[in-house]
Amino acid sequence: MKLTKGIRSIAVAIMAVLALLLFVCLLAGVVLQQDSLAVARANPGLAHMRVPVLLLGLCLLALFAAALVLAEFALGRILRDRIFTRASAQLIRAMSWLFFCGLLPLVALFVYTAMNVSQSITQLYVLFGAVALATAGLVLRLLANLVAEASLYKQEVDLTV
């Protein structure tokens, strides 16, 4: 009962994060547009980087949002007591792939900024982000393998008379 309540809270939190993400993206688009134009005017040499960096950022956001949606599905399966199935393992594995795929835009961002800006602080953040994504992907992969193994045990127990 307590566990179910906790999972419901996490599910609500995920939905809240998704809604917040959407709101922040819209707000950032409105607020930062003028700043972005001002920075581009002040640094004409970097103006061409705005759109590619924005696209890479949007790629990351899309992957993150997709992972959150999958997490919501996984929590739903826990609530319905159907977590220890092969489908759940596939769901978690898909989440881990999303995190690993997030490394691609980060690598592209790293290379792109390295090619255009010398000694940019952004590269340090990109490295931290890459380590965080890789760790999350690995942990989720481990979890997916655990759930897959547990589903076999559960099947065995369910079919023991």
What is the DSSP code (8-state) at residue 46? G
Q: How many CB atoms lie within 10 A of CB 129?
A: 17
Cβ proximity to another protein, 30 vs 161, nearer residue:
161
Closest among 133, 131, 111, 124 to 49, alpha carbons compared: 111
Task: Choose between 42 and 161: whose C-beta lies nearer to another protein.
Answer: 161
Pattern of binders to another protein over 132-161, x per CB under 8 A?
Answer: -----------------------xx--xxx
Contact of 151 with 93, CB cutoff 8 Å: no
Residue nearer to another protein on the CB measure, 85 or 120: 85
Taking the complex as a whole, the smallest distance from the CB of residue 6 to another protein amounts, in Å, to 31
Least distance CB 150 / another protein (angstroms): 16
The answer to whether the CB of 116 falls within 8 A of the CB of 46 is: yes
Rounded to the nearest whole angstrom, what is the least distance from the CB of residue 151 to another protein in the complex? 14
Does the footprint of another protein cover residue 81 (CB under 8 A)?
A: no
Q: Where is 26: in which H helix or E strand?
A: helix 2-42
Output 20 or 152, the one with its CB closest to another protein. Answer: 152
How many residues bind another protein (CB under 8 A)? The answer is: 5
When the beta carbons of 117 and 148 are compared against another protein, the nearer one is 148
Cβ contacts of residue 51 below 8 Å, gap of 6+?
A: none
Minimum Å distance from CB 16 to another protein? 40
Its sign, for the CA torsion 39, 102, 130, 119, is negative
> Closest distance between another protein and the C-beta of residue 124, in Å?
54
Please give the Cα distance from 114 to 127 (Å, whole number): 12
**Residues at the interface with another protein (CB under 8 A):** 155-156, 159-161
